[in-house]
Amino acid sequence: MGTRERIIGAADQVIRELGAARATTKEIARAAGCSEALLYKHFSRKEELFLAVLLEQMPALAPAMSRLRATAGEGDPAASLEEFAVAAIRFFGRSLPLIAGLLAEATLREGFRQMLAGNGGGPHVPVAVLGRHLAEEQQLGRFPAGTKPHAAAALLLGACFHRAFVVSLVGGSTDLGTDEDAAADLVAAVLGGTGGGPAT
């Protein structure tokens, strides 16, 4: 493992243990077994390091979005959406500590916002990708004609985030079912059907 990857892994660990606001570059460098000077050779600012954690260390949505784009008009549309929903639930679940820290710290939030604007990323991107996919499927007659694709995309991803949020708070204290069960139920609801298991 290279130095850069070691620093990203250490940042992920420190964020999960201490939260984003308390994850200082000093703590991250110590966890990575390097100096702060070496850390700054790879990342010019803390927000850049946090963005790398979000994009590279966590179960990323980018591969899931790529797979979704490739499935328009092919295979089972519900299965494709369920796979994407599972990926979204797991991404949100892992990224919640980082997201919470960024929202709580104004300077981190602003710096991160600038970083996202610079690379064209942000939480709106998966919604846009999913909305376009649903619109394509609708044109092919594989998504309900009376449903607004982009609103359905926002609802599905919002429900995935809610599922991850609830699970992170209550853990195993109540029966929430598996991520796959939840994804199947949420997709069935978006497609106008009904599911059989819990989708909290």
What is the CATH number for 154?
1.10.357.10
* Same-domain check for residues 49 and 101: no
Which one of 57, 75, 105 terminates a domain?
57
The whole-number pLDDT of residue 200 equals 44
Q: Are residues 74 and 162 in the same domain?
A: yes
Q: Are residues 50 and 104 in the same domain?
A: no
Could you tell me if 96 and 24 lie in one domain? no
**29 lies in the same domain as 39:** yes
CATH code, domain with 31:
1.10.10.60
Asked if the model's pLDDT at residue 193 lies above 70, the reply is no
The confidence band for 172, taking pLDDT boundaries of 50, 70 and 90, is low
Q: Of 12, 36, 57, at which residue does a domain stop?
A: 57
Do 86 and 53 lie in one domain? The reply is no
Same domain, 105 and 156: yes
CA 29 to CA 9: how far, in whole Å? Answer: 11
Q: Select the more confidently predicted residue: 99 or 141.
A: 141
Task: Report how far residue 4's alpha carbon sits from residue 28's, in angstroms, rounded to the nearest whole number.
Answer: 12
Residues 33 and 83 in one domain: no
Q: Residue 143: left if φ>0, alpha if ψ -120 to 50, beta else—which one?
A: beta
Same domain for 30 and 119:
no
Q: How far apart are CA 180 and CA 87, in angstroms?
A: 10
User: pLDDT category, 188, cuts 50, 70, 90?
Assistant: very high
What is the tally of structural domains in the chain? Answer: 2
Residues 167 and 92 in one domain: yes
Q: What is the pTM of this model?
A: 0.79
Same domain flag for 42 and 85: no
* CA–CA dist 113, 115 (Å, integer): 5
Residue where a domain stops, chosen among 9, 37, 57: 57
Determine which of 30-44, 61-75, 104-118, 143-157 has the lowest per-residue pLDDT on average.
104-118
Helix residue spans in the chain (DSSP H): 3-18, 25-32, 36-42, 46-52, 62-70, 77-104, 106-119, 124-139, 149-170, 179-190
The residue segments making up the domain with residue 96 are: 59-200
